[in-house]
Structure 1
Amino acid sequence: MDRNEPEALPPAGYAEVRIVAASPDAARMVADILRHCFAGGEQRSYPTPGGGTRLHLTVDTAHPAGPARSWLSTSRPPSGTGPHAEEP
């Protein structure tokens, strides 16, 4: 891809995550943690100059997985609790 071309955005509710690490094991550990928090697709890894690893992962932010579900729901403000339009 040309650096001047805009990067395609993932679909709504998804995020593209890129992990760059000195070793493939370190990149996989971070990807595993993200998969415990969010549903996601397959990861893709690529070598980087100097022997490191670049790992790409797509996560579904609309459908949290496992233990993150409770943390995500409590960290978001409840909907409908702000002032109404007619309130100061």
Structure 2
Amino acid sequence: MHDDTELPSEGHADVRVVAATPEVARRVAEVVRRCFAATEQRSYPAGPEGGTLLRLSVDTTRPAGPARTWLESSDSASGERSPEDGPRRDEP
């Protein structure tokens, strides 16, 4: 870990996306934002070869959409699946 990097507060995560194009980085950030509350993304050049570095912070204590469903079902000790979870990989 770099000295200039602070740890995020409890329940939060800093996400870094490195992609060849800004559009690809934005698409990945959109998926993350659909699952968790997130700050506005910040993007930077990734390096001398090109590409995009995108950073955002997410609040994992406030899941939304697919993450909420997944987190709720993963907390279940009974192993039952809700219909919203969709089929397992081994199910048709």
Normalised TM-score (structure 2):
0.74
Larger CA Rg, structure 1 vs 2: 1
Moved more, 25-34 or 3-12: 3-12
In 2, distance between residues paired with 1:76 and 1:12?
19
Query: Number of residues paired by the alignment?
Result: 76
Greater Cα shift, 22-31 or 67-76: 67-76
1:57 Cα deviation after fit: 0.7
Q: 1:13 is matched by which residue type in structure 2?
A: G
What are structure 1's unaligned runs of at least 5 residues?
79-88
Give the structure 2 partner of residue 33 of structure 1: 31
Distance (whole Å) between structure 1 residues aligned to residue 51 and residue 26 of structure 2? 12
Secondary structure of the residue aligned to 2:59 is strand
Specify every segment of 5 or more residues in structure 2 that has no aligned partner in the other structure, as ranges: 78-92
Query: What SS does the corresponding residue of 2:28 show, helix, strand or coil?
Result: helix
- How many Å apart are 1:5 and its aligned residue? 1.6
RMSD: 1.7
Distance 2:2 2:67 in 1: 36
Which residue among 2, 10, 17 is the counterpart of 2:8? 10
- 1 or 2, which has the higher helix percentage? 2
TM-score with structure 1 length normalisation? 0.77
How far off its partner does 1:4 sit? 5.3
Distance 1:63 1:44 in 2: 21
Identity %: 54
